[in-house]
Chain A
């Protein structure tokens, strides 16, 4: 089986379902930290989708986007946590 077909038929749908589940928590989450955790998970899932897409389309340039996404998600989580602690 081709790796491109494997990625498009099995892996990307599985990751899409995972993103929908993370969105459920982002929408329903009872408190603000729950939503921040869901956003952090969404960024990590996006990194995974980008890396799988880089393999499926044979374009290694997309990996740079994954690095930038990891950096920005870490900074965003730290900023949200700082905001939560200052607000209290």
Chain B
């Protein structure tokens, strides 16, 4: 029973990790790539760690695996947000099929502050905003 359950959890986790690796190769844009990796890879790692907790059936190992899962769930969104913010500020180009860029014209690159409405003089493209 435990072996079957942990085998299923390992298979699900490996599948999601493979999907994350496929997404980082196939997606057209840095931000789409990050959306593929940060979610799918976290889910895959959490599933595999849960499989270790089920398989070994020991309190110390299960608590270690759960602590690692909680740590992953806390840190992966923070890392993705910091990296996405730095990439947007340094002018990583968006995909040409991007429908909506809500930060366009609202991010002052010098002071790194966010305005609630686009400034009338600063209604520039993302590419132009980055240059000054």
| Residues in chain A within 8 A of chain B (CB atoms) | 3, 6-7, 10-11, 14-15, 17-19, 21-22, 24-25, 31, 33-34, 36-38, 40-41, 44-45, 47-48, 51-52, 54-55, 60, 63-64, 66-67, 70-71, 74, 77-78, 80-82, 84-85, 87-88
B85 to chain A, nearest CB (A): 7
B34 to chain A, nearest CB (A): 6
**Does any Cβ of A come within 8 Å of B123's Cβ?**
no
Residue of B nearest to A73 (CB): B79
For the complex, give the distance between the alpha carbons of A38 and B6 in Å: 28
Contact with A along B25-42 (1 / 0, CB 8 A): 100001001100100011
Known: A25-B24, A41-B21, A64-B64. 11 other contacts (CB 8 A): A6-B7, A11-B10, A22-B21, A45-B21, A48-B44, A51-B49, A55-B51, A55-B55, A74-B75, A85-B89, A87-B90
A42 to chain B, nearest CB (A): 9
Q: Which of B11-19, B98-106, B114-122 contacts A (4 or more CB under 8 A)?
A: B11-19
Residue contact A7 to B10, C-beta cutoff 8 Å: yes
Taking A31-B92, A51-B51, A85-B85 as contacts, is the C-beta distance between A37 and B24 under 8 angstroms?
yes
Q: Is the interface of B mostly helix, strand, loop or mixed?
A: helix
Residue contact A33 to B83, C-beta cutoff 8 Å: yes
Residue contact A52 to B14, C-beta cutoff 8 Å: yes
Q: Which residues of B contact A40 (CB under 8 A)?
A: 37, 79, 83
Residue of A nearest to B82 (CB): A81
Residue of B nearest to A25 (CB): B24
